[in-house]
Amino acid sequence: MSSSLSRRSTLQAAGALAVVGLAGSVAGAAQAAAASAEELGPTEDIVVTHPTLPQVPLNNSFTVKVRPLGGSWKRLDVYLAKLALIDPTTGSNKAQNSSVAMFDFSGTVEVEVTYNPGGIEKFRVRPDSYGIKPEVLGSTARFTLDRPRNLVVQADDKIFDCLHLLANPIEQDPPAEGDKKVMYFGPGLHTHPDRTLKVPDGTTVYLAAGAVLTSQVVFENVENSRLVGRGVLYNSPVGALFVRKCENVTIDGVTILNPRYENVRVAECRNLTIKNLRAFSHQGWGDGIQLYCSENVTIDGCFLRTSDDCVALYTHRWDFYGDTRNITVRNCGLWADVAHPINIGIHGNPDPDAAEMLENLNFENIDILDHREPQVTYQGAIAFMVGDHNLVRDVRFDDIRVEDFRWGRLIHMHIMNNPKWNAAPGRGIESVYIKDLTYNGKNADLSVLLGLSEERGIKDVTFENLRVNGRVIADSTGKPRWYLASDGVPMLANDYVKNLRFLTTEEAAAL
């Protein structure tokens, strides 16, 4: 037997141990798998499947199989995810059934997805930017992956009865059970009487593949702590994760299903990293990641399909106080079944003597898959809803791809005083640079840039290489000279918007 096959057999044996729930053996097997993957390098084709999640309902809409290139097929468990559909007439929210499956791999993997009800004509694998064109054989699609991806596989463009496929990298150096600084949750169901897990200083919470934790995880007044693994936070009684007044906290690899309210709330933190988080919600106020009064935060490689804003950046609310700055959101897929994929600035301190700001906000390499918001004043795939004396400045978007969404606007920048949420208007929006933003679709309503007054306006907003359905929107080209460039979006900018520019890439390089 070749060394390559021997190593692969070791990994398959590790998966078998996990299935029978031997947590200690699973830990050792996972460490062996990680070590083998590192030794073999990125070209070795390895698939690691996860033990079945206890008490998480399965969904039979899809059959999903994976295999190393040319290897043996392994069937994945496919779980029920609940998603939101708001009725714009009544406001009712009827939960919709969807599907989630997950696995780990390195090298190249083949994927086979069958839509079990049958009778379909096509498959679509999203985000579209990945360029994955499956081979379709009746009700089955096949495609390959050569890197970890968070995908949505749609049969006949079904919005809810679709498959969310979470293809992870193989874990490297997972924590060991028995370590005094590790709260280890092996495969199985884990509950607490009060449904709350409070994490101490310098502690790693590890959710192994196959672990289901039904508690809210709370990091408060701690440093150098982590939540990592391939397990699931399920059916949390309130938000799934709450991180407050912390420093150097890392969240990496876990999946959130069916929380009550938001998935992640962060407040008054510094030096926080959220990586490869996947979150799905259907109940009201089911935001993905809410960030209040925090600095030096990186959100990287996440997939968020949520029943409120996917990523929301704020300052003051409740008893949280302080500015928000130095935030990076990158390499993410965002799908807002309600509200906004990106929302900035609505909550702040209405006391003018304690006014706060959001600054140095960076969004890079992001796919926005959907946006659905019936409320006209609350739309925007990219939304700046700036209230409560907030000032938003020094914001950059780079390589943002927006697919056609169901209902809303591409851009909404608004200095506002919304009586539902605000006690005062925002101070302004300044210095926003949006480079390589693309939108392909037909459903976008009129984009808006709305300042409130000369003192509370919007200034210095630049679009570089904005493309709408393949057309570059620029002040200098591609339009009648008496038209505004913004007409090509289309976009309305009122009289309190100053120095709005639309540049080609060449024009920007010449500045």
Q: What is the pLDDT of residue 43?
A: 63
Q: Are 176 and 229 in contact (CB under 8 A)?
A: no
Q: Note the pLDDT tens digit of each residue in 471-481.
A: 999 999 999 99
Assign 487 a pLDDT band (cuts: 50, 70, 90).
Answer: very high
| Between residues 16 and 372, the one the model is more confident about | 372
Residue 152: closest CA among 125, 133, 131:
125
Whether residue 60 is predicted with pLDDT greater than 90 in this model: the reply is yes
Q: What is the pLDDT of residue 255?
A: 98
Q: Note the pLDDT tens digit of each residue in 166-188.
A: 999 999 999 999 999 999 999 99
* Neighbouring-strand partners of residue 94: none
Residue partners of 291: CB distance under 8 A and separation at least 6: 266, 267, 297, 311, 312, 313, 314, 324, 327
Q: How far apart are CA 148 and CA 221, in angstroms?
A: 34
Report the pLDDT averaged over residues 97-107. Answer: 98
Q: Are 197 and 5 in contact (CB under 8 A)?
A: no
Assign 18 a pLDDT band (cuts: 50, 70, 90).
Answer: very low
Whether residue 489 is predicted with pLDDT greater than 80 in this model: the reply is yes
Report the pLDDT averaged over residues 354-360. Answer: 98
Arithmetic mean of pLDDT over the chain: 92
Whether residue 240 is predicted with pLDDT greater than 90 in this model: the reply is yes
Assign 16 a pLDDT band (cuts: 50, 70, 90).
Answer: very low
Report the pLDDT averaged over residues 103-112. Answer: 98
Q: How far apart are CA 454 and CA 450, in angstroms?
A: 11
First to last CA, the chain: 62
Residues 111, 288, 226, 332, CA torsion sign: positive
Assign 6 a pLDDT band (cuts: 50, 70, 90).
Answer: very low
Whether residue 148 is predicted with pLDDT greater than 90 in this model: the reply is yes
Q: Note the pLDDT tens digit of each residue in 183-211.
A: 999 999 999 889 999 999 999 999 999 99
CB atoms within 10 A of CB 279: 25
Structure tokens at 169: 């990298």
Tell me the C-alpha to C-alpha distance, in Å, between residue 346 and each of 18, 26, 406, 410, 417.
46, 45, 23, 18, 9
Q: What is the pLDDT of residue 41?
A: 46
Domains and CATH numbers, the chain: 43-169 (2.60.350.10), 181-231+239-248 (no CATH), 261-510 (2.160.20.10)
Q: Is 452 left (phi over 0), alpha (psi -120 to 50) or beta?
A: alpha
Residue 127: closest CA among 365, 381, 313, 343:
365
Whether residue 398 is predicted with pLDDT greater than 50 in this model: the reply is yes
One-letter amino acid for residue 296 of the chain: N
One-letter amino acid for residue 12 of the chain: Q
Question: Dihedral through CA 461, CA 344, CA 397, CA 439, nearest 10?
Answer: -90
Residue 451: closest CA among 401, 485, 419, 492:
492
Whether residue 243 is predicted with pLDDT greater than 90 in this model: the reply is yes
Residue 259: closest CA among 208, 291, 207, 306:
306
Residue partners of 397: CB distance under 8 A and separation at least 6: 363, 364, 382, 432, 433, 434, 435, 437
Q: Note the pLDDT tens digit of each residue in 404-443.
A: 999 999 999 999 999 999 999 999 999 999 999 999 999 9
Tell me the C-alpha to C-alpha distance, in Å, between residue 134 and each of 108, 111, 217, 449.
15, 9, 38, 40
Q: How far apart are CA 56 and CA 208, in angstroms?
A: 15
Whether residue 19 is predicted with pLDDT greater than 80 in this model: the reply is no
Residue partners of 72: CB distance under 8 A and separation at least 6: none
Whether residue 22 is predicted with pLDDT greater than 60 in this model: the reply is no
